[in-house]
Structure 1
């Protein structure tokens, strides 16, 4: 379940626009920046694996700062910054949830959709970590099914004698190295999210054995899925079309002729957003709990309902 928690936080709604963004930088070789970004993510994950297995505490980054520097003010600022980032991210995801994909299904006032969305996610978190992780498990599997549809659509399209396989090696730039590096920095953002799992360390039995395996396993799965999606998208659609599209993966599925209904992608994108908000709020609540127990926040914030 930990692997799926991390995978659910890494995979997000942003992946549905990622192919077009990277194609705009490098051309058809979308997989190259993704591969480099995966290597960078694995290096960062190695640091987290070391810290989490040495200090398996709910306070996460705040605890690591305290152990490293022994300065409560600095530790508070680190932890508070993480909590603030989580709250801001959840708010942004609520706005995204109420946006075009939702309005395409149901025309409701966006501000009330945002409020209702956050209330539901908060209530789910309040029920407990077990219920939250169960919901995450279901939503992560749905997210993966959406990306599997894209890969299947690309395979079908190429198997019918269509597509341009050689396009995946094309670099549409005069400075390939610079373009790939710049695109890798963008692609790296698609791998972030695994750091929130550090705040669940206390819930993990045999953390020294399980956490590193789950962390690296989730990142490798995400990397392989991303690269397969990128390769498939490049073979099905021309680079110019990927660059111009607001929903490149939906266009890939539509162009394949596989007959997958477009509204399914709207639902899957909404689930990806909801899962991201759920996991972000889990992180913020666990971090707040851990900071209170470390004396960095009032003790009342360490209470469990």
Structure 2
């Protein structure tokens, strides 16, 4: 499938997590330990926030992440307090730039790992549920982008967790109507530069892997000489498909049917329950 991560904390170079870590996202593009596919080479994307009033920046490419020299240069040059990154393994849609995550609308970025099963059968119904005012902003052909625009339709910009719950319910209802037993499997991330919203959910309760960092303040006490931990600050937070380093106590698995909202040092966990709009 895919692998992704989202970071918030002190401004750091993107390369710190994309390249330098022991099991960095670039390493995962070739040697994923927990993904459905070992290799994720159907494109990549990174998104980051600069000034508060600007839309986020993106760099997306259809090349494999491990083989893009410009990505390494950009990751070394860019420092940001909040950024996301995604490596793609396509599930039935073309490897093209418009299908690479993160997707963007205004200040919002969105990433997905998983799939809508039998997407071709339900695609028309789902696209007809998208707000017509948003329709012209659709660029690609993936199920992930449709999920994003459904969430926008149902209020992502004002009540993100509820909007994602509504999106999932609509996808599952359409799937069941077309005879799909388990319509959706997902870990998703949405952010507007001020908060990270991440969800682990699947219709069959066997979701793709998702982890979050534990207290960096605690890790600094355990590993006082680790420069990577010093740089991010006490309130740094990572949500990611696979751990980046093998540090005992550094990561916890996100439970099934759980939503996380990270806003600065405040981290909230809540049960994720799909509900039709």
Q: What TM-score comes out, normalization by structure 2 length?
A: 0.28
Q: By percentage of residues, which structure has more strand?
A: 2
Higher relative contact order structure (alpha carbons within 8 Å, sequence separation ≥ 6): 1
Structure showing greater Rg: 1
